[in-house]
Amino acid sequence: MSPRVSEEHLKQRRASILKAATGVFIEHGYEKTTMKHVMDAAGVSRGGLYQYFSNKEDLFEAILEEGLNEEAEQSLASLKKSSTSYWHLLMQIIFGEDATPDTNMDPLAPSKLEFFITGRNDERRRAYGERRYEMGLKIYADIIKEGQQAGEFRTTHHADTIARSIITFIDGLALDHAILPEEKVRLKEQSELFVQYLNYALIGADSSS
């Protein structure tokens, strides 16, 4: 009675599968990728793959979960550097470290949209999507509320409504970006305009930065 098998290097294998799978999902999208694709990309057999993940949905959720952890860390890190202002903090969370609209997007975003849209009639998937939405919503809403309490943001609008609008806008951009070629979306211009919008809703002045 001793754990005769390998140790925590199961983690490595699992991670390697997850990494390969991520690449596959990025390339083919959620619906179109098959376990075969993942097997080939990860260099693992059918049985081997199923030992770690019982199906595609399970696999994809594992990837989502990973991303969630990273995000959580990052936003926490940002929060700690929030010395400047709530506005800057908000920009950081939306646009990343440099707090400025750029042309980068999560390459997995299209697959995520697929995952939730095509699964919208599935009880479980729907509930999962809602949980994630709530989490994202809370992050934005909390900051806005704090900013309002600190007097930095005006209280003309409900923090909640504005937070929802942020998500809606980001989702819209992700969607358009998934479907249309780079040139047609104009990520940067639209983001800048959106920042102005936020500035208008939160501060009221006309200088966005």
Partner DNA sequence: AATAAAAACGACATAAGTGTCGTTTTGGGG
Partner DNA sequence: CCCCAAAACGACACTTATGTCGTTTTTATT
Name the one residue in this structure whose structure tokens are 């920009």.
Answer: 91
Shortest gap between Cβ of 120 and a second copy (angstroms)? Answer: 5
**Which residue among 3, 69, 181, 206 contacts DNA (CB under 7 A)?**
3
Q: Please answer whether residues 187 and 105 qualify as being in contact, where contact means their C-beta atoms are separated by less than 8 angstroms.
A: yes
Cα separation, 69 vs 76, in Å, equals 11
**Which residue among 35, 62, 167, 201 contacts DNA (CB under 7 A)?**
35
- Widest distance between CA atoms in the chain: 71
Write the CB contacts of 13 (distance below 8 Å, at least 6 apart in sequence).
Answer: 44, 52
Binding to a second copy (CB under 8 A): which residues in 77-136?
110, 113-114, 116-118, 120-121, 126, 129-130, 133-134
- What is the Rg, in whole angstroms, of the alpha carbon atoms belonging to the chain? 20
Alpha-carbon torsion angle 70, 134, 158, 117, nearest 10: 100
| Residues that bind DNA in the complex, under the rule CB under 7 A | 2-7, 9-10, 13, 34-36, 43-48, 50-52, 54-56
| Residues that bind a second copy in the complex, under the rule CB under 8 A | 28-29, 31-32, 110, 113-114, 116-118, 120-121, 126, 129-130, 133-134, 157-158, 161-162, 164-165, 167-173, 175-176, 178-181, 184-186, 189-190, 193-194, 196-197, 200-201
